[in-house]
Amino acid sequence: MAEHKYRFNPNTLNFERIRTTGWKKVKRAALALAPGLLLGVIGIFLAFQFIDSPKEATLRRENQQLMVEYELVNKQMAEVENVLGDIERRDDNVYRVIFEADPIPSSVRMAGIGGVNRYKDLEGFANSNLVIATRKRLDAITKRMYVQSLSLDEVGSMVMRKQDMLASIPSVEPIPSDETRVSSGFGERIHPIYKIEKPHMGLDFTSPVGTKIHATGDGTVDFAGYNTSGFGIHVILDHGYGYQTLYGHMSRVDVRKGQKVKRGDVIGEVGSSGLSTGPHLHYEVHKDGQPVDPVNFLFNSLTPEEYAKMVEVAGNAGQSMD
């Protein structure tokens, strides 16, 4: 049986039963529960702030794992960059040097990727900076690998042409050493006619009139005949790969313009035509349109001792013969 509460009424001198309305019961219950609810809300708030839910704990572990994997990826990319850099250095300083090809400019190797913002879809996330930086680094490596791949393809083509290139480089004497001697070298020399110092852009080989002159490399006859340049009767051979050779002051030409010649073929005979003070061959080598010292290309037909002697004689020779 429910327990009832009473109070004394002094007016009636009786104990009257206290009747509680539903609203009062609700208020009383609310007041009783309020501290507990407040403590509960505070507890839940603190729990969410400092204690991960199972789902959050899982996500946090996954993020930590992703960060570890990103660090590993960055280390691997650093290793790839080092290896790629070594390949690029070898390509520029070894492979392309061997085949006399220009190195690839760093502005081409390290060029950025232009156009619209390629990384817009990666923005706005918690780790966007990390993801975008990694993606940019990967794109840069990909671009460098693409450029290097094209370079290696080019080097491969040059390897296939290497035999032709070696045959074309003018690397022997135009007159055998037992039939001639060098009377003047490359550089500033006293001109025998004008008696002033002038650049002498070749070597003078002294030999009797009629001595056979040989092509120093495979090539095509670019000029054969006489003109007023001072070389008199002369021949110019185009060897390809940027090389040309000139044979001046000849007495006879045995080739014609457009003719293909091989290294060692006779192209004419020694003479003294043009501005010359005696029978000799004036021999020049041009690379990419610029005269270079021919003595640097005579290694293929001389022993080391003969080559050293040739360099010494060419360097000491004074007045030229043309």
Cβ-based neighbour number of residue 169 at 10 Å: 22
Q: Residue 65 corresponds to which amino acid?
A: Q
Q: Which two tokens stand for residue 59?
A: 């996500």
Residue closest to 205 by CA, chosen among 179, 237, 229: 179
Task: Supply the pTM of this predicted model.
Answer: 0.53
Task: Give the pLDDT band (50/70/90) at residue 307.
Answer: low
pLDDT in tens, 114-173: 555 666 766 666 667 777 788 888 888 888 888 888 888 888 887 777 778 888 889 889
pLDDT in tens, 226-251: 988 889 999 999 999 899 999 999 99
Alpha helices by DSSP H, 20-127: 22-50, 54-90, 96-98, 106-109
DSSP assignment letter at 271:
B
CB 169 within 8 A of CB 243: yes
